Structure 1
Amino acid sequence: MFQLIWIVIVGAVLGVLAKMLLPGKQAIPFWLTVLLGMGGALLGNAVAGWIGVRHTSGVDWIRHLLQLAGALVLVGGGSSLWTGMRQKT
């Protein structure tokens, strides 16, 4: 149970950081920001595993940066898709 709460917290932090770092306004709801942040964390962990830096001694800075990069990609893309879908209706 605690792990699920932790995943949501990390997703929220990564999603909000991604929204702050991306230029312009990302007009997506908070729940979508959290989901895309969670997806970015998963994507970053997968890439870290593929390149062999998932488990290192000390703080895993490379893995955390990859998670943030994943969140940036997903929030940026998700924002474009969300805006496009909302304008069609």
Structure 2
Amino acid sequence: MALIDELADDLAAKTMAAMKELDDDRFYMQVAKVIGTSSPSLQEAFMTSCRLRISAQRGESFLNDALKAWREGATAPAAPRGAEGGH
């Protein structure tokens, strides 16, 4: 992994933890603005890492909710409309 990716991912992990503590699910945007003033490249790598982490958290939450519903005989949650595409 390149230095930029390591730095960005480490900061993203710390930022995700801070977001929980601060109860602010958009805090990463503020951190990205600070980074962007001196390194747009690091900012983009950071945003990518944040988006991946947020997406993975949402996916895991959906998976857990679907399994819980199945195990309890309840109706599984519906995936968001338009979820078949990404980029």
Same-fold status (TM-score > 0.5): no
Higher percent of residues as helix: 1
**Higher RCO, Cα 8 Å, sep 6+:** 1
What's the TM-score once normalised by structure 1's chain length?
A: 0.40
In our comparison, the structure showing a higher alpha carbon Rg is: 2
